[in-house]
Amino acid sequence: MAAPKYPLPAQLYINGKFVDSHSDERHSLYSPVDETLICDQVQHATAEDVDAAVDAAITAFNGPWRKFTGAQRGEALLKLAALMLEHKEELAWLDAAPIGKTTSFALREVELAAENLRYYAGWADKYAGESYPADDGFVKIVRHEPLGVTVAINPWNGPIVIMSMKLGPALATGNVMILKPSEKTPFAATRLAALATEAGIVPPGVIQCLPGAGATGALLANHMKVRKISFTGSVATGKRVQQAAASSNLKRVTLELGGKSPSAIFEDCNFDNAVHWSVLAITFNAGQACYAASRLYVQETIAERFTAVFAEKMKEKIQQIGDPTKAETQIGPLADKGQLARVASFFANDNPTQVLVGGKQHGEKGCFWEPTVLYNPPDDAQVYREEIFGPVVCVRTFKDEEEFLRMANDSEFGLMAGVFTQDINRAMRLSAGLDSGVVGINCVSYINIQAPFGGTKQSGIGREHSHYALRSYTEPKTVLINMNY
């Protein structure tokens, strides 16, 4: 094992201290680039560790943190954002190394995470309540109060930026948060929790980190003193989180789950723009994104031309696969052997689908997969129906708006959709007709902190980003004042 570029925080972080797990079990992480060992001492939180972290969180919530004014919480978030940027290279490397994320993309994610915290810093003293006139003899006041102990269960594909989407609104509204990073990417979250506390930005217990796999997440989801779980991950695990939340103490739940996002290319589109976004939407982060546009529908009249150009651009992307630490690399490996095996499983059996590009592992070493274009897969094909989480896109043709909507909405997912057209009336009709939490017009697989993000159907419950996220971390309390006593 080569010496790591930065120290690897493999312990738990509870109540302002690095501590060892109550379990002697240790886990190993290997590089998906060359299969070398990164760390063989990764710890995971047990029931005793979870109880200790929750108790520390309650103490912090009821103690010094509760005395912070909104302005002070905003200042804390600004300081934390600045601290993230000060340690940008370290945090990016800690997240990127275990899953082979490109350095450029990992650095940008840390920058986006800092932007998210700055955004919510601005909300901390501006999330107002409401009042209604006493025309019936009663003054009505609505206050938005923090929930208490909240938990962020984060995925491995965008660990630090997704963490910030949860941490920002939680702290802005006065909650405390326990971070549960993926077992594949535990280091940056642990390091950030320590940085924030050691720098005196937040009191001990306000931000803690409990690495671990599904068992740790289940302990948190079932805990009777946790008041909110925000989970990003698979549909199957999201269902288990919701069941645990309901069967324990009916804790609040936000779920951001899978996707199989459709995108329509109409004959009147800006051709070059449509090609650009279609390629970007399925290849960034090696296609490992919940809102990747993996179902591409092209109008029949331009299908031959568009598909030929799109396929050629995807072939060019194969040449950009390589060492994720090099500046010229645009596509790194899949996260690990397990993810590689999952993507490969869709191509293991005889398949009548025409493969225009890719469809196989790239090279003999590492977990690289070639950007893949499949043409007109059968309606019941797994590769067309299920989320793959790799750079694999299915292209099908359609005749008109009605046919596109029928195919696009024929899915249990509803996270993201795209429409490429220069007809604004068509764009607005389709944006209304699509079963999707987010619709991009002449763009796709793009989200913005100022607008809510989340899905319909089995893509999730609740919203992150914007002021909508603040609502999910607060409880409205109504105060009625009798003016006639």
DSSP string, 45-102: --HHHHHHHHHHHHHHHHTGGGG--HHHHHHHHHHHHHHHHHTHHHHHHHHHTTTT--
Contact call for residues 36 and 323 (beta carbons, < 8 A): no
Contact call for residues 281 and 263 (beta carbons, < 8 A): yes
The predicted pLDDT at position 353 comes to: 75
Report the alpha-carbon distance of residue 337 to residue 106 in Å, rounded. Answer: 20
Total count of residues recorded for the chain: 485
Angle between helices 159-172 and 187-198 (to 10 degrees): 40
Could you tell me the domains of the chain? 12-257+460-478 (3.40.605.10), 262-441 (3.40.309.10)
Catalytic residues: 256
Cβ contacts of residue 129 below 8 Å, gap of 6+?
Answer: 141, 142, 143, 144
Report the alpha-carbon distance of residue 221 to residue 254 in Å, rounded. Answer: 12
Report the alpha-carbon distance of residue 364 to residue 215 in Å, rounded. Answer: 34
Beta bridge pairs of residue 475: 145
The predicted pLDDT at position 315 comes to: 97
Strands 176-180 and 149-153: parallel
E runs forming strands in 367-466: 372-375, 392-398, 413-414, 416-420, 438-441, 456-457, 460-461
Report the alpha-carbon distance of residue 199 to residue 204 in Å, rounded. Answer: 11
The phi, psi pair for 458, rounded to 5°, reads -85, 10
Place of tokens 């997704």: 162
**Which 3-state string (H, E, C) describes 22-43?**
CCCCCEEEECCCCCCEEEEEEC
Per-residue pLDDT 10s for the chain (485 aa) are 567 899 999 999 999 999 999 999 999 999 999 999 999 999 999 999 999 999 999 999 999 999 999 999 999 999 999 999 999 999 999 999 999 999 999 999 999 999 999 999 999 999 999 999 999 999 999 999 999 999 999 999 999 999 999 999 999 999 999 999 999 999 999 999 999 999 999 999 999 999 999 999 999 999 999 999 999 999 999 999 999 999 999 999 999 999 999 999 999 999 999 999 999 999 999 999 999 999 999 999 999 999 999 999 999 999 999 999 998 899 999 999 999 999 999 998 756 678 999 999 999 899 999 999 999 999 999 999 999 999 999 999 999 999 999 999 999 999 999 999 999 999 999 999 999 999 999 999 999 999 999 999 999 999 999 999 999 999 999 999 999 88
The phi, psi pair for 88, rounded to 5°, reads -55, -50
The three-state secondary structure class of 101 is: coil
pTM for this predicted structure: 0.95
Neighbours of 131 (CB within 10 A): 13
Per the structure block, which two tokens stand in for 98? 């275990």
The predicted pLDDT at position 485 comes to: 81
The predicted pLDDT at position 420 comes to: 98
> Which sign, positive or negative, has the C-alpha torsion 371, 374, 379, 383?
negative
